[in-house]
Structure 1
Amino acid sequence: MIQIGIFKFASCDGCQISFFDISDTLSNLEEKVRIKYFVEGQDDNKFETFDISFVEGSVSTPEQENKIREIREVSRYVVSIGACSSSGGIQSVRNFLDYSNLVQQVYTRPDLIKSLEKSKPISDYIKVDFEIRGCPAEKEAIIEVIYSVILGKKPYKPEYPVCMECKRKGNPCVIIFGKPCLGSITSAGCGAVCPSYNRGCYGCFGPVKNPQVETLKELFLSLGLNQDKFYESILMSFNAYHPYIREKL
């Protein structure tokens, strides 16, 4: 019996909702899979030991920093789900600003705020065995991880960019039409959903290894986008604090 825990840190809950979308699949696996901890979805929760711990959200408070270490200690596999957990999320934009000034501007009682200065992915604190990208995480990728643990194999994860998915679908490159697109530096897995509707990729699946950010910036500049626009409106979003991206900023 595979014991599963599903946890939430700083996030919007969207990735956890993906588990409701696969409820039929989980029901069919009831003899092999048991969800022991899922505050969002059940009343009876036990924090004991887990074969798989799925973690949504970034680490943004001291309590969360302690909790993620506890989860690691009792888990066989820890899987980050979604952009917040793997990259710090949109909230990690604060990492590039003056934290004290930001808190003063946003809250009427900043003295009551007990948060960390930076919103970080869980991999900054513990070993993560597998990442499920996306905003939100794709339900098919969650199912892949669960089946892989049951079968004792390594989960499949695309190692190529969204551009490959566009090619397979026969999509014309939206950059040709003057639309900014992060597909060339973004991991595949979404099925190129945005370019398929004539929109540029927003990079919600996170960067590929060694993303060629400077090359893409040069291309964007040729389209009339200045450097500030490139960084602030394009890169500074879902995955601004992913290790592959923050070293480029």
Structure 2
Amino acid sequence: MSTPTLAVFKLASCDGCQLTLLDCEDELLALAGGVRIAHFLEASSAVEPGPYDLTLVEGSVTTPEDAERIRTIRAASHRLVTIGACATAGGIQALRNFADVDEFRRVVYAHPEYISTLSTSTPVSAHVDVDFELRGCPVDRRQLLEVITAFLAGRKPDVPNHSVCFECKQRGSVCVTVAHGTPCLGPVTHAGCGALCPAYRRGCFGCFGPSGSVNLPALIPLLRRDGLDDDAVERFLHTFNAAAFHEELRSP
């Protein structure tokens, strides 16, 4: 059997999730022994054409070129996995979805007429079929390695769908909301970070997006109880996964 091929592509993003893969160090060496990395510009300028057995895509679709490119990538990929908040939820650049992107363009750029962009920043799944979405800003290295290994082995990735609260209990952290009245998105946020912020008595900021069983409307009164007015709640939700959390608020 031929060695399976791995490709990594970037759309609109900061490269943080690709760097997470590079930071795997020893694990990456072992992985490289089992796959042929055919396209990964963050690591090598050597590029092989598709089709690819497994493709990882970082970044959101923010330009007409992105939309066309992701369709080309999808056509060349047997399995396509999106990694990170940008690729799975539009990312922090999806804040444009709640404002006038033309005004942003006028304010930021000296010659806005040269800038071609879409009015919204959207996840890859809004444009093509996706085989798996790995959340995080950036993704967790352990989960990333599990997803790659699982797809190469032909099995379902073992990535939990519970909330950050579960991870707080696992590491024995005191609930910052119950004990200190700290606003926290942990009850509605996908696990994966190891409950890092609550371990240091900070509320979760929702880096990994909505968890599988989200009751965001029920959390809003608790955020208000802990001192956030309506504007502060909006700002609290307007971070890495703003578009995803607002979709949950609109859900019945």
TM-score per shorter chain, which class?
A: over 0.9
Aligned to 2:217: 214
CA distance in 1, matches of 2:31, 2:105: 46
Compute the displacement of 1:210 (Å).
Answer: 4.7
CA distance in 2, matches of 1:58, 1:234: 21
Compute the displacement of 1:170 (Å).
Answer: 1.5
2:28 paired with 1:26: yes
The AA in structure 1 aligned to 2:148 is: I
Q: Which runs of 5+ in 1 are unaligned?
A: none
CA distance in 2, matches of 1:217, 1:162: 17
Aligned to 2:226: 223
Q: Is the 8 A contact 2:22 2:28 kept in 1?
A: no
The AA in structure 2 aligned to 1:115 is: T
Which of 74, 78, 81 is the aligned partner of 1:79?
Answer: 81
Q: 1:173 to 1:247 in 2, by over 3 A?
A: closer
**SS of residue matched to 2:161:** coil
Alignment of 1:156-235 (within 5 A): 156-176=158-178, 177-231=180-234, 233-235=235-237
Compute the displacement of 1:247 (Å).
Answer: 4.8
CA distance in 2, matches of 1:236, 1:211: 17
Q: 1:50 to 1:173 in 2, by over 3 A?
A: same
**SS of residue matched to 2:217:** helix
Compute the displacement of 1:245 (Å).
Answer: 3.2
Q: Is the 8 A contact 1:202 1:234 kept in 2?
A: yes
The Cα offsets for residues 108-160 of structure 1, whole Å up to 9 and x where unpaired, read as 21111101111111011011111111111111112112211232211012111
**Which is further off, 63-72 or 101-110?**
101-110
CA distance in 2, matches of 1:174, 1:121: 31
**SS of residue matched to 1:248:** helix
**Matched pairs, number:** 247
Aligned to 1:245: 246
Compute the displacement of 1:191 (Å).
Answer: 0.8
**SS of residue matched to 2:243:** coil
Q: TM-score, normalised by structure 1?
A: 0.95
Q: Which runs of 5+ in 2 are unaligned?
A: none
Alignment of 1:125-164 (within 5 A): 125-164=127-166
Aligned to 1:67: 69
Please give the root-mean-square deviation of Cα atoms over the aligned residues, in Å: 1.4
The Cα offsets for residues 8-41 of structure 1, whole Å up to 9 and x where unpaired, read as 1111111110121124223224442111001111
**SS of residue matched to 2:151:** helix
Q: Is the 8 A contact 1:6 1:38 kept in 2?
A: yes
The Cα offsets for residues 189-238 of structure 1, whole Å up to 9 and x where unpaired, read as 1111111111111100110135212111101111121111101x211111
Q: Is the 8 A contact 1:217 1:227 kept in 2?
A: no
**SS of residue matched to 2:219:** helix
Give % identity: 44
Q: Is the 8 A contact 2:162 2:213 kept in 1?
A: no
Aligned to 2:120: 118
**SS of residue matched to 2:165:** helix
CA distance in 1, matches of 2:143, 2:248: 27
Q: Is the 8 A contact 1:207 1:245 kept in 2?
A: no
Q: Is the 8 A contact 2:146 2:157 kept in 1?
A: yes
